[in-house]
């Protein structure tokens, strides 16, 4: 894996699994995170064959923040834009479900902490860096983007 260096941007994703994900149970969240890890690290064609889960943090529907890939290393979450870019995934499919208030608050809290720790100049949704080729991080997050991404 490549070193991340000094992060200057953050990109928000959703998992976007077809069934969505709304559980607040830690055991269910652990299984959900393990399924993402398997998808990212299993050899192709089953998985992506990456060295680790692609995101640096996950935020669950109960508002818990989970540390994933070490910030020492560049993530694997936006094609051609992973340099100096912290990847945050909101667990759920926000084209199907609303964003729970606890999850929204935790996302804002995480962004505030990252801005304190690093010289972050930009917060993107995945689609903003992908010419809208994806709808990630989902309609319900994009609808709250001004409140989510403002300081
Ligand atoms: Zn994404």
Rounded distance from Cα 23 to ligand 1 centre (Å): 20
Ramachandran sector of residue 49 (left: φ over 0; alpha: ψ -120 to 50; beta: rest): left
Is the bond into 137 cis (omega within 30 degrees of 0)?
A: yes
What CATH number corresponds to the domain at position 130? 3.40.80.10
Domain membership flag for residue 33: no
pLDDT single digits (tens) 107-125: 999 999 999 999 999 999 9
Q: How confident is the prediction for the chain on average, in pLDDT?
A: 96
**Low-confidence residues of the chain, pLDDT below 70?**
none
- Look at residue 123 in the predicted model and tell me its pLDDT: 97
Rounded distance from Cα 68 to ligand 1 centre (Å): 15
Domain membership flag for residue 72: yes
Domain count, the chain: 1
- Look at residue 93 in the predicted model and tell me its pLDDT: 97
- Look at residue 132 in the predicted model and tell me its pLDDT: 86
Rounded distance from Cα 100 to ligand 1 centre (Å): 19
* Full domain range(s) for residue 68: 9-23+53-149
Rounded distance from Cα 119 to ligand 1 centre (Å): 22
């Amino acid at each position: 894996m490549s070193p991340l260096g000094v992060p200057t941007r953050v990109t928000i994703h959703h998992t976007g699994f077809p069934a969505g994900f709304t559980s607040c149970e830690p055991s269910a969240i652990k299984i959900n995170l393990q399924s993402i890890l398997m998808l990212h690290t299993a050899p192709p064609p089953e998985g992506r064959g990456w060295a680790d889960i692609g995101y640096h943090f996950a935020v669950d529907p109960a508002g818990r923040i989970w540390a994933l890939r070490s910030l020492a290393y560049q993530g694997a979450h936006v094609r051609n834009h992973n340099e100096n870019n912290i990847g945050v995934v909101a667990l759920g499919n926000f084209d199907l479900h609303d964003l729970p208030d606890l999850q929204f608050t935790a996302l804002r809290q995480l962004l505030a902490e990252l801005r304190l720790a690093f010289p972050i100049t930009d917060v993107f949704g995945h689609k903003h860096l992908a010419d809208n080729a994806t709808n990630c991080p989902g309609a319900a997050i994009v609808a709250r983007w001004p409140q989510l991404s403002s300081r």
